[in-house]
Structure 1
Amino acid sequence: MSKIFVLTLMLLPCIFNTSFAQFSLNRSKGELVYGSPEEVGIDGKVLNHEIARIMTQAIDSMAFPGGQILLAKGGVIFYQGSFGFHTYDSLNRVEDTDLYDLASVTKVTASTLALMKLYEDGLFDIDQTFGYYFPKIAKGAKKDLTMREILAHQAGLRAWIPYWSESQRKNGKWRWNTVKTDSSKRYPDRLEGTNLFLHRKFRERKIYRMIRKSKVSDDKKYVYSGLFFYLVPELVERLSGEPFDQYLNNHFYQPMGAATLGFKPTDEFQLNRIVPTENDTFFRQTQLQGVVHDEGAAMMLGVSGNAGLFSNATDLAKVYQMLLNDGKYGNKQYLRPKTIEEFTKVQFPENDNRRGLGFDKPLLEYNARISSVARGATPGSFGHTGYTGTLVWADPDQDLLFVFLSNRVYPTRNNGKIYDLNVRPNIHNLIYELLRIGKGTYSLGTHW
């Protein structure tokens, strides 16, 4: 069932005084607080009815077993709802505190966030070359690609590499110096969710080598590529002196109180709080729960720049509310407004490329068939989708935040009903429409 939270609800995982004075204090500090739809000019009855209708249809159609939704405006969470179950066995109902695999939302909530901080600290130059930062990997045509081009998916890099399958021979056996079924000094790291063990230099010898050998297109147009994001953890550690996950925890997640946001969730949370993703029948041969869904990130031992983050909707929202607050959350300034502006603006509009630096943006010309967000999302808005069925979208012009978490890849990634039913853009469109018309004039028969 959907739940509308009132001022007396406490923001997890922190416990707040429920007095109005405390509410006002948190709001004045730029932290997320709970309120009502009416407080932001939306009819709560209509909002509840329509979101429940969209989510019920999606779950009944088996687009996904369940999901979480969070909506905030002006820092006020005016709607938060959890729907359905972890899986179709209907044993574990989805709760607001449950964690989802964020998939490629990691690219902006981890990699891009870290690079933004390093950029404004003078340690990372978006106009420096790939060859400068990775001289052993960026050879030939890759050498002169700029970070700006790469982060805007404008550099001509290959879209992706199936590292796990390219580490196997045609007969299915693993290539030399890749994977073994027994651990040893040379194969110390267990591939999560399996009884396989990776070579201690798998990342350098295989993943980095495949990236180095991959071809670069001469046609510099928008092609979404995850290749560079596998390299970000090493780059962040080299530039900052801190491991990638620790850097993010120290500079962002922990100070914000985003306790569920992070990598390798089973280190901190019970398995029954983590929503499963896929029944993997071709690689790890198990139901994936508490381990990253993305195969490449799994072979990075769960800490990667392209995927690997887990979170609940509340903690993920804190990062994007910080970005909506010009870099401030609570009493801390995390990023400068100019840094956020630089990374979230369209970089190459003249080349029909909508992307910012890391961040996705609305289509330059709206197309309801392929857009993941609302028609009303303004040109200044930004966010990202995730392959597992996740989305986060922030609109500074409307001071509006939309978080959607699901496991649409359960039981199989071949399920595309979340797209066929336009679940995420329909909810997003609903919010813009309700904000536009205000209270009392919306027909419950109006569907998108």
Structure 2
Amino acid sequence: MKTASGVFYFLFLAHFITSAQSYKQDQAQLKDTNVLSYGFPEDQGLNAAYINRKVDSIMTRGIQERAFPGAQLLVAKNSTIIYHKAFGFHTYDSIEPVSKKDLYDLASVTKIAGPLPVLMQLHDQGKFNLDEKFSRYWKPWRRKKDKKDLTVREVLAHQAGLKPYIVFVKEVMKHNKYKKRFVRSKKNSKYSIQVYDSLFLNRHFYNKMKRMINRSEVSSEKKYKYSGLSFLLYPEIIEHITGERYEKYVTDRIYHPLGACNLIFNPNGKYPDSLIVPTEIDTVFRKHLVKKWVHDENAALMGGVSGNAGLFGTANDLARLMQMYLNMGTYGGKRYISEATMREFTRVQFSANDNKRGLGFDKPLLDNHELDITKASPAPEASMNSFGHGGFTGTYVWADPDNGLLFIFLSNRVYPDRSHRNLYSLNIRPSLQQVFYLAHKD
């Protein structure tokens, strides 16, 4: 019996040691893959009391002064989520409190969360060349004298002189009423693009949008001019290159592998209504409260699936995507984008022309570290290697690889209408971001 007990004890001890070694290896692997996990600010050398006091003060003022009715804020440091809270309510009636599971309309954050990761992957595969003419991928421009020689790099860096925006909704409205040849209240084979409840668009209208983009003027002066027009074209370009629908491709290749399953287009019917935050009471186009449908009219006219807007998400899901960017293309032991491509897309492209932009990504103002918080974008303490993007609805994501800092702010500042601009005048987002740079423990 003693011998048997000794053998059993030896086997148990060996199993315990092996299990412990395996656990340590698993933990080391987890750390190496830079997967987001939750932790405390103190673990990252930050003062939690300072953070809570400052953030609560900024958020309270923002809500009181109607910069936004509510918001989500998530901040990670060195792959550790050190702050993740929800504030306020869906609307100013204070009925539905914001939760961490609430889905926000990401607006122009879609640009770097939708088409851009796919374009970077295609660049890695040699299928999308930055210094090729854009007209190689968008054939109608080959016949346009002012567009045929524009390069992909110029277009992505907003250096091409393209028109900033076209208000396509004017084409489907007349005297504040819908033109019957474009919009109907019931769906059929011709009016098949749903843009809102009981609002269906002529399926050929997208062709009209493309013609207007192709005919739009290009400035002869090549300087920084933000333009969202090319992002309306990237879904079709991606489909031509990959042979797959843009929405399916980005979902299957990016969102689902990352575990960011709530990054979705057209959330109506895909996500609980009570957890979708409304945007604007639209008095012009939809003529109702916009909820579950994309706020941006141009994206709406494309059926809600576009490259300029249309994506919805939570702070938690966006964090996975942005952490992958922060890791220079990897997450959870899987490489999505090469490090060389990440560095190329996130660097300033035309600084000699006073253009701060990367490729698709926004960057700090060229003299940002010298500016006061009221003029800086992002916080002046952010490194010049940092990058991100903002959205018209009141969203903002930013990654700072030099400081290992990830910042995600989601709000619906356009509620009840887009005239509400206190989010900007009160410097809410850079002030919140600055808190986490100044929160070092003494």
Q: Given the two structures, how large is their TM-score scaled by the length of structure 1?
A: 0.90
**Is 1:238 matched with 2:240?**
yes
Query: 1:388-407 residue pairs with structure 2 within 5 A?
Result: 388-407=393-412
**Is 1:40 matched with 2:19?**
no
8 Å contact 1:103–1:386 — kept in the other structure? yes
**Is 1:199 matched with 2:198?**
no
Q: 1:376 aligns with which of 376, 381, 399?
A: 381
Partner of 1:90: 94
CA distance in 1, matches of 2:189, 2:325: 44
Q: 2:252 aligns with which of 235, 238, 250?
A: 250
8 Å contact 1:26–1:32 — kept in the other structure? no
Superposition deviation, residue 47 in structure 1:
0.7
Query: 1:10-25 residue pairs with structure 2 within 5 A?
Result: none
CA distance in 1, matches of 2:355, 2:289: 37
CA distance in 2, matches of 1:286, 1:419: 26
Query: 1:14-413 residue pairs with structure 2 within 5 A?
Result: 26-137=30-141, 139-169=144-174, 171-174=175-178, 177-193=181-197, 195-204=198-207, 206-366=208-368, 367=371, 368-413=373-418
Q: Which amino acid in structure 2 is aligned with residue 217 of structure 1?
A: S
**CA deviation string 1:114-156 (max 9, x = no partner):** 1001110111111111222112245220111111000000000
SS at match of 1:413: coil
Superposition deviation, residue 20 in structure 1:
10
**CA deviation string 1:50-102 (max 9, x = no partner):** 10110011011111010011111110001111100111111111111111110
Q: Which runs of no fewer than 5 residues in structure 1 stay unpaired?
A: 1-18, 441-448
Partner of 1:425: 430
Distance 1:370 1:232, change over 3 A: farther
8 Å contact 1:253–1:261 — kept in the other structure? yes
CA distance in 2, matches of 1:99, 1:412: 19
Q: Which amino acid in structure 2 is aligned with residue 201 of structure 1?
A: H
SS at match of 1:70: strand
Superposition deviation, residue 164 in structure 1:
0.5
Q: Which amino acid in structure 2 is aligned with residue 431 of structure 1?
A: F
Q: Which amino acid in structure 2 is aligned with residue 47 of structure 1?
A: I
CA distance in 2, matches of 1:181, 1:270: 25
Q: Which amino acid in structure 1 is aligned with residue 404 of structure 2?
A: D
**CA deviation string 1:370-398 (max 9, x = no partner):** 43410011110000000000100000111
8 Å contact 1:27–1:33 — kept in the other structure? no
8 Å contact 2:176–2:284 — kept in the other structure? no
Superposition deviation, residue 189 in structure 1:
2.1
Give the length in aligned residue pairs: 416
Superposition deviation, residue 185 in structure 1:
2.2
8 Å contact 2:323–2:331 — kept in the other structure? yes
Distance 1:372 1:66, change over 3 A: farther
Percent identity, aligned pairs only?
Answer: 47
8 Å contact 2:365–2:377 — kept in the other structure? no
Q: Which amino acid in structure 2 is aligned with residue 179 of structure 1?
A: V
Superposition deviation, residue 264 in structure 1:
1.1
8 Å contact 2:193–2:302 — kept in the other structure? no
Superposition deviation, residue 174 in structure 1:
4.5
8 Å contact 2:86–2:99 — kept in the other structure? yes
Q: Which runs of no fewer than 5 residues in structure 2 stay unpaired?
A: 1-22
**CA deviation string 1:358-381 (max 9, x = no partner):** 000000012444434100111100
